[in-house]
Structure 1
């Protein structure tokens, strides 16, 4: 089960380069239910996500590079590329996604939680702006269908 909240960002934290980060590329084979393939640096996987906005089922299966390349070529819509920064906010980690073209300058902060109760009690840091957890327009699967 994935339990997360999503936020737009008022301003970027200073010196982002000091945080660990990953280059992510992903394509969607289906958006209802969500079936996606992702490359995160040199790791590849297929993900299934169930229905829901803050909490939903999520299953990841490993892929090799050849399988990823084969499947991503079959993706519908936009391929999403972003740099994900991992920013500690004990006991949590902020996953700050800085999207590349054609989605730039979109920046989304996500925080995952072990329980819905913790997610609902979370008080975001000052540099977060709008809580978009319940706005499906900010789901990557929705972005993959956006027309430019």
Structure 2
């Protein structure tokens, strides 16, 4: 139940050529407290309830618990979420022994593309595709829970 991942911005759209699958995601947050987030997600035709704890100092790992719920339950719970539903398309891209999940955001976060890779331990080595950009692991503004409150389109992009 420990999630260990690193996040990166994406430099270009070449990742789409390497994707083996993709699907639409809508998600909202019932709670975005600094100590924990409670997320409702609709991924394709599945629903999920996820609880995440506070990140460690590096932002690389944190507690995560997830369970599948019915799509009907997820749709109802999305209506109870805090303002700011996240809309994105996720691409799965194999790279060596890992799979990158690349999220292309839409709506209020359009223009933002973030790649994540899950690891077994914090210092684990992994291949870095050429489309991978600046690392943003642990940078709070890039957390989905924060993007729901302060969307990418409101940022100063100078």
Residues 77 and 16 of structure 1: is their aligned pair in 2 closer, same or farther, counting only changes over 3 Å? farther
Task: Identify the residue that residue 11 of structure 2 maps to in structure 1.
Answer: 10
Say which of 90, 110, 114 aligns to 1:104. Answer: 110
CA RMSD of aligned residues (A): 1.6
1:77·1:146 contact (CA, 8 Å) conserved in 2? no
Counterparts of 1:60 and 1:76, CA distance in 2: 19
Alignment of 1:51-90 (within 5 A): 51-52=54-55, 53-90=59-96
SS of the counterpart of 1:102? helix
Residues 15 and 108 of structure 1: is their aligned pair in 2 closer, same or farther, counting only changes over 3 Å? closer
1:61-97, Cα deviation, whole Å (9 max, x unpaired): 2211221111100110210011100001020001010
SS of the counterpart of 2:107? coil
Q: Establish whether residue 34 from structure 1 lines up as the match of residue 42 from structure 2.
A: no
Counterparts of 2:93 and 2:104, CA distance in 1: 13
Moved over 4 A (4+): none
Task: Identify the residue that residue 97 of structure 2 maps to in structure 1.
Answer: 91
Say which of 127, 134, 140 aligns to 2:138. Answer: 134
Counterparts of 1:49 and 1:63, CA distance in 2: 17
Return the TM-score normalized by structure 1: 0.91
Return the TM-score normalized by structure 2: 0.86
Question: Any gaps of 5 or more consecutive residues in structure 2?
Answer: none
Question: Any gaps of 5 or more consecutive residues in structure 1?
Answer: none
Instruction: Give 1:16 shift.
Output: 3.6
